[in-house]
Every structure is written in structure tokens, then in C-alpha cells.
Amino acid sequence: MFRSLLVPLDGSSFGEQALPLAELLARQSGAALALVHAHEPLDVYIGTALAGELEEEARQRKLAYLEKVAAKIKGAVTGEIKTTVVVGAPAQALREYVEANGIDLIVMTTHGRGAFNRFWLGSVADDLMRHVAVPLLLVRPRDTTVPPGSAPAIRSILVPLDGSALAEKVLGPAGDLAHLTGAAITLIRVTEPVADVDETAGHTMLFSASLHAEITTVRKRQAAEAEAYLEAAAQRLRAVVPDVRWRLVQAWNPASAILDDAKAHGADVIALATHGQGGLVRLLIGSVADKVVRGAEALVLVYRPGNDSLQESR
């Protein structure tokens, strides 16, 4: 369960759009809420002598900003609110804070489209989801102001699985989030379509009827195995979340299929694992996760399991 939440803030209104959701989760869980700003040392830009005169002033100004934000949300949460300015390159400084303070969940905005792609929190979110073994709940910023207390509803969570033990690691954080919010969970698995020929387009089969029949039989067996796998995973999850469903989706492009399914069924959250840097690359682990994060309109819960989990899955 979530006991300590982190919201990285960069001083922008975009970054603050993660606050309503973090407030809601902190209130429902009773978790402590850490508001953290990463301050890059000024001597990186203007030289050591001048930086020494301005450094403390800059840190105090940023701490005052965090305390002002904390004062606005104090009445909305029951747990402790911490405000901290960490010093260093933003991504690295935040990683060190997460590890040192036992953070259970990071809630933050990430890049949207167009100009949003260039702001500070986009690159930090990319780094964190590749390096920290803590789930991140990512919020796509809007181009309008988000009123205080207007947290997005979490009623349904979509969890794509690819049959690997590593992909299933996200079921823990997804189950915690569903238990906390009362959301239903839907498991999906994307498989290649059984049909190899678009008969409606008048295409001619390029191989024999017997070979085509054999391919069809194999793919049907694979679909049956995938359905059995999803039902077994759903049964395990139902011990924590009462409402767990599943469906099999046939498509050639997994990332597009996941995004289309989320939109068609109104998923509020897409939850999936990523492998981080190097190592295992599977159907959903890695590049597909990146595409889903960048393309989703829904919230995205991303989890990179720790090194032990990675070793077990190799």
C-alpha cells in the first residue's frame, strides 16, 4: 500500500496539475506527501564566485514556493506534507531522494504534445521511469488551469500483459491503486490476428490451403492459451480487487491496440511495466511502454521492477 507519495514540482502550472490527484490519493491512503523541487547549482551556469552569493537566496525562494503550495493543500490531506529542495541535476537528485526516503509512489505530470514536450518534467519523468523501482503515476498536463481539488476519477484500470513474469510485476501497484480507489481492473493481452490474408481486399493466398489451415490452428491454440493465462492472472488478482475482467485483443501493433482499447472502453488508467535500460525486450516491455506513455490520454501507471525481478525474468 502507498504510505509515502512524492510530487516533483518545477515551479510551473503544468507541474502543479499532478497535485489534485496526489491530494486525493494521500487523503484516501493517509500517506505522507512530499513536495520536492530539484535545484541545479548556479555555478554550473554562472561561475563559482557569483553563484556563492546567490545560491542560498535561490534555494530559499524555491522552498518558499513549495511551502506556499503546501499551505494551499494542507486542508485536503490528513497525512504529513513535507517540502524539500534537493540540489543537483533534477533527475539524479530526485532518484536519490526517492531511495533515501522510502517513497512508494511518484505522482507527476509528464510531457504532452507540442511545446509541452520541452518542459522540465518531461525529461525527468523519462529518467525516473527507467531508473527507479517505484511506480510512477503520470498525468498529461492540459493547456488550461486545473482547479484545486479537481482530481481525475479512477474507476477503471487497464493492465496489458504479455505473458511474462516481468510484465505481471505491475499487478501489485495496479492492485494497490484499485483497492484504494475502488476501481475495476481489466487485463488485456494483444496477440497477432489469426487471419493472414485480407480476403475482403481480394488478396490471393500466397501459400497452400493446408499450410494456412495449420497456421490458423496454431494461432487458435495460442489464443486459447492466452485466454487461460488471463483468467489465471485475474483469479489471483481477485483476492485483492473484487472486479477483475479480461479480454484478448488481436492486432499487429501492440501500442496502438492498447491505446485504442483504453479509449474505446474509457479506461482511466493504463498500468504497465517497463524494463528500463538494456536487458529484456518483450512485447510490452520497453518501446511499447514508451509509446503508450507518450500517446495515452488516460493516466499511466508505469513500474520498473527492481534488479532482482529483472534477473528472475531473464
Q: Which of 110-119, 267-276, 295-304 has the highest mean pLDDT?
A: 295-304
Place of cell 490528513: 78
Encode pLDDT of 218-255 as tens digits. Answer: 888 888 899 999 999 999 999 999 999 999 998 889 99
Distance between CA atoms of 248 and 80, rounded to whole angstroms?
43
Is 130's pLDDT higher than 50? yes
**Predicted structure pTM score:** 0.85
Residue 284's nearest CA partner among 169, 190, 192 is 190
Distance between CA atoms of 160 and 248, rounded to whole angstroms?
10
Show the domains of the chain with their CATH numbers: 4-139 (3.40.50.620), 156-313 (3.40.50.620)
Encode pLDDT of 33-76 as tens digits. Answer: 999 999 887 665 555 555 566 778 888 899 999 999 999 998 88
Q: What are the two backbone dihedrals, phi and then psi, of residue 186, each rounded to the nearest 5 degrees?
A: -120, 125
Encode pLDDT of 165-217 as tens digits. Answer: 989 999 999 999 999 999 999 999 998 776 554 444 444 455 677 877 777 78
Distance between CA atoms of 87 and 48, rounded to whole angstroms?
15
- Asked if 248 and 237 count as a contact pair (C-beta separation under 8 A), the reply is no
Neighbours of 127 (CB within 10 A): 16
Specify the pLDDT at position 116: 43
Is 272's pLDDT higher than 50? yes
Specify the pLDDT at position 135: 96
Q: Sheet containing 244-250: which strands, arranged edge to edge?
A: 81-87, 32-39, 4-8, 105-109, 136-139, 299-303, 269-273, 156-160, 184-191, 244-250
- Give the angle 280-158-261 at the CA atoms, nearest 5°: 95
DSSP E strands in 192-292: the ranges are 244-250, 269-273
Average pLDDT over the chain, rounded to an integer: 83
